[in-house]
Structure 1
Amino acid sequence: MSSAPVPIPARRRHDRLFEPSSLVPTSYLSRSPLAEEIIARDLAECVDDDADSDQDSNWDSDSLLGAEDHLDLSAALGAPLISRPTGIAYGTLRPTIAANVPGTPALAPRDVVASRRAERSLLRDNHIIPPKHPRPFEESRWRQLYRRLFSTKVPVGDDEEDHFGPLLSRVSTKALESTPLLTDDGQGYVSPSPSEQQFQWDAAVAGNLIKTTWQREAQTLGQYSRSLIVTFLLHYSVTVTSVFTVGRIGRLELGAVSLATMTANITCYAPVQGLSTCLDTLCAQAYGSGHKKLVGLQLQRMTYLLWMLLLPIVTLWWYSERVLASIIPDPETAALAGLYLRVLILGTPGVAAFESGKRFVQAQGLFHATTWVLLIGAPLNVAANWFFVWKLELGFPGAAAAVVFTQNLLPFLLFLYVRFIEGMECWNGLSKRAFHNWGPMIKLALPGMIMVEAQYFAFEVLTLASSQFGSAHLAAQSIIVTVTSTTFNIPFPLSIAASTRVANLIGARLSGAARTSAKVALAAGLLVGLFNLTLLSTLRFRLPYLFTRDDDVAAIVSRVLPICAVLQVFDSLAAISHGLLRGIGRQRVGTYTNLFAYYLVALPISFSVGWVLRWKLEGLWLGIVVGLVVVSSVELWYLHQADWEHAVEEAEMRLKSDEAQHGVEFK
């Protein structure tokens, strides 16, 4: 079967990514009018400032690419296989995804390189371009078995394996004159040039020849998620270390830190994280438009806004003892929680600065910056807990002081990274303009705050409920929340990786490959859930004593952990399925399903079983299990019924809509 050659598209997505522009360039195709308004106002204010209209988009490909990866700029743009997750909030309790963040994140040069490498790998897997490492003439049986089990190549039969010429002829009846498929001696292969690779990729996609394997998708999901898992676990280790330390002090202290953390999450951390997710749009908008100095301006503006919002929060925390004493029956626990919160006040500016700073570096594609910061900060947090609690003998307030130390240390380390390693190109110093143009930014930020707050509150209310059963149950709740949130930091990053990969494949019009990737992600999520189930089940009598020496508290935790073990399977599947829904552009289905399941199913069952049947903490967590069963079942059913081809069509329609709005041609 053969067909006429498919022409290389004259202009593809992001083909104007690095073109000069005068105001709001059409290269960055945001679907957020508010974001465009903010950038337009900022540029209007600094139209005479050459630094803020910087268009320095040149990059040294030699520093990013090897010999095989060396791309010319015109062939490098397009990058359909790389995108970035947005709206992610993590660090305390359970990570969450905010409401759909409008706008399309801009691609950094390293993203373009990664996209081209991903395209080349798929072309090799489908035998369309020469393999990187030709198969030897003779292979051992073990080598053959290994290749059959783990090779990422699409199977086409033993006689056709690695014979890429016939498959390429199905794409085009003529090869490019400058693309030798074999060297003169017929032994070695010559890889195509970047422009030839682009031709072959576009033609192969048009000919529906690009397939994938579970081995390829498992490898890709592993690469995408491993650094995310490390980052999430390191960030949450700040909370784990605090609970671990306080648990060695006593039962009341353990319950108090749980109550204080609940209050801090609902009143401060969730709003701060939710509001800062709008920088995923604003910083990316500024970076993608080529006005890189505006990225630093957005950082300053959000940080100042968050610091101003801390004023009423600080007031609430200072008098929190009175508020909590009116809610919970144990005044001593309320007093300790109030003391913990008063100390935490000193760390709130650092929390706000770090949340904004994360978005500042991520807009530049520097996702590893946060990981490096946490690799230093997490061990120092452990040392700080030992120093304040045991060395200085401050006890319970020392645990809060250690948290404050870490919360202020992390933004400082991030500043050092930007200042001395990379990221300074988007900083133009402090500016008075950061105090202008707040209205549109607040409108853009509010949906993210509301969604994060809603997801936090659904779980935090269990801590408030458990306080009604006594200090032992409140202390046990602190341990259970810590354990289940730690385990959730494995499937949640995997869901982000799955969402990114599926979205990339859908954007590249590879619906079949996207379905394969989704199946692999669900299988991986199930395995992670079963692993967590086994872990909690087998260690149900040992885990509690890592956090407490109180036998009563440990006994309660041991009774609840089997329920939490079952929860792990559905929690993991729900996380993966929600990520896949985001990948195919159906995130609203997952969002509404989660809110319905938590507030109309899980919490009513929790309160009913907990109080009416007197199951107490076991009843509270049983309701959460039922809610997650509903979430995972509904989302999996929707994914099974979803029309993936229609998702591809919708992605193309969104591009055409952007084209009509901005006057840019897409292919």
Structure 2
Amino acid sequence: MTPPLDIPIRKDDDSTSLDVGAASPRSFQSISEIAHEALIRDLAECSDEGDPDTETPLSFLSDEEEEGEDGELHYTPTLYRRPEGVAFGAARPVIGVVPASHDEGVLTKVEKKQCRDAERSLLRDNHFLPPKHPVSEHPNLFRRIYKHVFSTKVRGTGYDTFDEETTSETTPLIKTQSHTRPGHEGHEHLNEQWDAAVAAGQIHTTWQREAKTITVYSRSLILTFILHYSVTVTAIIAAGRIGAAELGAVSLATMTANITCYAPFQGLTTALDTLCAQAYGSGHKHLVGLQVQRMSFFLTVLSIPVAISWWFATDILRLALPNETASVELAGLYMRIMILGIPGVWAFECGKRFVQAQGLFHATTYALLMGAPLNILISWTLVKKLGLGFVGAPMAHAFTQLLLPLLLYLYVVFVQGSHCWGGFTKRAFHNWGPMVRLALPGMIMVEAEFLAFEILTLVAGRFGTDALAAQSVIVTLTSILYQIPFPLAIAASTRVANLIGSKVVEAAHTSAKVSIIYAAIVGTINMAILCGGRFYLPQFFTEDEEVISIVAEVLPICAILQLLEGLASMSHGLLRAIGRQSVGGYTNLFVYYSVALPLSFGTAYGLGWDLQGLWFGVTIGIFLVASIEYWFIYSSDWHQAVKDAEDRNASW
């Protein structure tokens, strides 16, 4: 019988705190004591039943070790980045906080190589290592201009000259005491270079490098988020072009689905971010599949009351909107059909966590690259080609929800990831307590954010069918544009946190400034798109002239919101980067419920501004959130953040 693995625990106050869909660097992650307890129980049960999965794979090596070709362990640097290519939910909460109390565990061999490459690149830019490619002594004019504008090299550091005959990447330029074991000079000297340069405060970065890095980090995230949200957008366009009542019905149905199914299920599955990653890092990979099975069965049970509520959605919505008979009836029909897709919702959320725990972040992107275009084709076929009309939209949506986890399953079976599946087991029906305790905080926070945003849609329904249809168009347009600044903030958060964790505060400051400018540029572009296209963009969703007119009146306010929301998203990301994400979470919820919503209701009803009033309150709320968070970021001691990171690393 194999004894349970003694897993070290990092003591943190925010082991179940909310993070925005990115795997933060190890410095700012915590291993939950609840997850530790669950893992120990599972290992004990496995040992009692004689399960053979007891080896410690390469992924269980510590950050500071790497297995060499000769089987020896090499010391490895610790700078590392890993933004997740994982989309969340059917729509985004307006305040932009998505949970991922994610314990990344330990690094694989490939990830360690990326870590070394990242440090080596920064050392080259700071002239502690010779250039990767030979430098021409007499560059032409084009080359000089290119170097001046796009070069990531730090200027004026005084390390610009190398003797290539005596200097190499394995020769320390800053002399330090050597602890190199025979035969392993390369890894040790790189680490000496890095530690010495950091200790001397001589690691800097440039805006060119940070702009390039954040762009690379965010591009796959943006694609994934847009693809995932396109599934909902396709249904809205397909139904909305039939009529205003149908467009309003899709908005009501989506709102109800968000607050009764999508948000709770998304929040509950955040427990797998910790449980699956910790199981994978422990070396007992079959426990990843066990945790996914537990959550799947748990969500299957919860799907029963959800399905019942959706079946009677017409009666429930009629109580809230007694005057919107046509839209309510159609929304109820939409949700009855969507019951068929509920298993696909929880299966895809669980599947994302299954591949994510193994570092297979592009698996979800590949599934969406196939699923999103198929969804458009199926929607067109059912709604137009076969003439099913409104009914075809939810049928296509439900089919796509079932298709996405199937595509993810095929990726795992035929590409990679199946080694973490140990088969179905009766143990999946035991030890649910720790999982539920981890899941509930994430569910409560996500539900609170989605509920706050969806209240606006419910209120919009009281202004009439046209206003409800216009609200559907506005929410969709703003959500589409939000799929750019949100993943951009995830990438920036990861980058800045990596630099903080590597104790290079000045470089982290530079990266943060570039990120804020990036967010302002993206927000300005989004603002220009809404202002310039306010009469044209609504025509993609509806042909109703009254709805188009209402949308055009509200979009200028939403355009200002896009600029503020881009900046607010980045402030959320920077707070996560310095390990103070709880400040953003509580600030968002307080401002939204105590300022934004009351102000929205006051201007909408008291001043008679209708939809313009609803969005005016939201805009003021986002402005306050961004102002408070940037003030906190500006006044924070980032050197203290480095010390906190060191303490957490020491605990690990």
Same fold (TM over 0.5): yes
**Would you say 1:358 and 2:352 are equivalent positions?**
yes
8 Å Cα contact 1:87-1:100 kept in structure 2 = no
- Three-state SS of the structure 2 residue aligned to 1:47 is helix
Deviations 1:257-307 (A, max 9, x none): 000000000000000000001111000000111111100111111111111
- Residues 654, 46 of structure 1: CA spacing in aligned structure 2 closer, same or farther, 3 A cutoff? same
Q: 1:423 aligns with which of 417, 423, 437?
A: 417
Partner residue in 2 for 1:53: 53
- Residues 520, 401 of structure 1: CA spacing in aligned structure 2 closer, same or farther, 3 A cutoff? same
Q: 2:641 aligns with which of 625, 647, 663?
A: 647
- Three-state SS of the structure 2 residue aligned to 1:249 is coil
Partner residue in 2 for 1:349: 343
Show the 5 A alignment for 1:100-179.
101=101, 103-156=103-156, 160-163=159-162, 171-172=174-175
Partner residue in 1 for 2:63: none
Q: Which moved more, 1:331-340 or 1:107-116?
A: 107-116
Computed over aligned residues only, the root mean square deviation of the Cα atoms, in angstroms, reads 2.6
**Structure 2 letter corresponding to 1:147:** K
- In the TM superposition, residue 133 of structure 1 has moved relative to its aligned partner by 0.9
Show the 5 A alignment for 1:544-559.
544-559=538-553
- In the TM superposition, residue 28 of structure 1 has moved relative to its aligned partner by 7.5
**Structure 2 letter corresponding to 1:91:** A
- In the TM superposition, residue 490 of structure 1 has moved relative to its aligned partner by 0.3
Partner residue in 1 for 2:565: 571
8 Å Cα contact 2:179-2:188 kept in structure 1 = no
State how far apart, in whole Å, the 1-side matches of 2:501 and 2:51 are: 34
**Structure 1 letter corresponding to 2:44:** A
- Residues 163, 570 of structure 1: CA spacing in aligned structure 2 closer, same or farther, 3 A cutoff? farther
State how far apart, in whole Å, the 1-side matches of 2:623 and 2:69 are: 49
Show the 5 A alignment for 1:611-626.
611-626=605-620
Partner residue in 1 for 2:364: 370
Partner residue in 2 for 1:196: 189
Partner residue in 1 for 2:309: 316
- In the TM superposition, residue 94 of structure 1 has moved relative to its aligned partner by 4.2
State how far apart, in whole Å, the 1-side matches of 2:3 and 2:500 are: 32
- In the TM superposition, residue 646 of structure 1 has moved relative to its aligned partner by 0.5
8 Å Cα contact 2:76-2:191 kept in structure 1 = no
Partner residue in 2 for 1:64: none
8 Å Cα contact 2:499-2:505 kept in structure 1 = yes
Unaligned runs of 5+ in 1: 1-20, 60-68, 180-190, 660-667
- Residues 284, 28 of structure 1: CA spacing in aligned structure 2 closer, same or farther, 3 A cutoff? farther
8 Å Cα contact 1:105-1:285 kept in structure 2 = yes
Q: 2:4 aligns with which of 1, 6, 23?
A: 23
**Structure 1 letter corresponding to 2:175:** S
Partner residue in 1 for 2:270: 277
Partner residue in 2 for 1:561: 555
Partner residue in 1 for 2:14: none
**Structure 1 letter corresponding to 2:397:** V
Partner residue in 2 for 1:438: 432
- In the TM superposition, residue 130 of structure 1 has moved relative to its aligned partner by 1.5
State how far apart, in whole Å, the 2-side matches of 1:413 and 1:102 are: 24
8 Å Cα contact 2:271-2:438 kept in structure 1 = yes
Deviations 1:520-551 (A, max 9, x none): 11110000000101111111110010110000
- Residues 202, 245 of structure 1: CA spacing in aligned structure 2 closer, same or farther, 3 A cutoff? same
Partner residue in 2 for 1:66: none
**Would you say 1:36 and 2:30 are equivalent positions?**
no
State how far apart, in whole Å, the 2-side matches of 1:100 and 1:223 are: 21
Partner residue in 1 for 2:408: 414
- Residues 434, 570 of structure 1: CA spacing in aligned structure 2 closer, same or farther, 3 A cutoff? same
State how far apart, in whole Å, the 2-side matches of 1:622 and 1:169 are: 59
Deviations 1:388-416 (A, max 9, x none): 11122111111000000100000000000
**Structure 2 letter corresponding to 1:621:** W
8 Å Cα contact 1:76-1:116 kept in structure 2 = no
- Residues 38, 445 of structure 1: CA spacing in aligned structure 2 closer, same or farther, 3 A cutoff? same
**Would you say 1:221 and 2:214 are equivalent positions?**
yes
Partner residue in 1 for 2:293: 300
Partner residue in 2 for 1:383: 377
Q: 2:234 aligns with which of 214, 232, 241?
A: 241
The structure 1 segments of at least 4 consecutive aligned residues displaced by more than 6 Å after TM superposition are 69-73, 164-170, 173-179
- In the TM superposition, residue 97 of structure 1 has moved relative to its aligned partner by 3.4
Q: Which moved more, 1:254-263 or 1:143-152?
A: 143-152
Identity across the alignment (%): 51
- In the TM superposition, residue 93 of structure 1 has moved relative to its aligned partner by 3.8
- In the TM superposition, residue 435 of structure 1 has moved relative to its aligned partner by 0.7
8 Å Cα contact 1:251-1:553 kept in structure 2 = yes
- Residues 166, 23 of structure 1: CA spacing in aligned structure 2 closer, same or farther, 3 A cutoff? closer
8 Å Cα contact 2:126-2:203 kept in structure 1 = yes
- In the TM superposition, residue 636 of structure 1 has moved relative to its aligned partner by 0.8
Q: Which moved more, 1:229-238 or 1:28-37?
A: 28-37
- Three-state SS of the structure 2 residue aligned to 1:154 is coil
8 Å Cα contact 1:607-1:620 kept in structure 2 = yes
**Structure 1 letter corresponding to 2:564:** F
Partner residue in 1 for 2:516: 522
- Three-state SS of the structure 1 residue aligned to 2:310 is helix
Deviations 1:140-159 (A, max 9, x none): 122111111111111126x7
Q: Which moved more, 1:409-418 or 1:507-516?
A: 507-516
State how far apart, in whole Å, the 2-side matches of 1:435 and 1:564 are: 47
- Residues 488, 621 of structure 1: CA spacing in aligned structure 2 closer, same or farther, 3 A cutoff? same
Partner residue in 2 for 1:456: 450
8 Å Cα contact 2:312-2:332 kept in structure 1 = yes
- Residues 26, 77 of structure 1: CA spacing in aligned structure 2 closer, same or farther, 3 A cutoff? farther
**Would you say 1:290 and 2:293 are equivalent positions?**
no
TM-score, normalized by length of structure 1? 0.88
State how far apart, in whole Å, the 2-side matches of 1:163 and 1:577 are: 41
State how far apart, in whole Å, the 2-side matches of 1:314 and 1:52 are: 40
Partner residue in 2 for 1:633: 627
Show the 5 A alignment for 1:85-96.
89-94=88-93, 96=96
**Structure 2 letter corresponding to 1:298:** Q
- Residues 52, 316 of structure 1: CA spacing in aligned structure 2 closer, same or farther, 3 A cutoff? farther
- Residues 353, 138 of structure 1: CA spacing in aligned structure 2 closer, same or farther, 3 A cutoff? same
Partner residue in 2 for 1:80: 79
**Structure 1 letter corresponding to 2:195:** D
**Would you say 1:256 and 2:246 are equivalent positions?**
no
- Residues 457, 618 of structure 1: CA spacing in aligned structure 2 closer, same or farther, 3 A cutoff? same
- In the TM superposition, residue 348 of structure 1 has moved relative to its aligned partner by 0.4
8 Å Cα contact 2:87-2:225 kept in structure 1 = no
- In the TM superposition, residue 110 of structure 1 has moved relative to its aligned partner by 2.7
Matched residues, number:
618
State how far apart, in whole Å, the 2-side matches of 1:551 and 1:473 are: 12
**Structure 2 letter corresponding to 1:127:** H
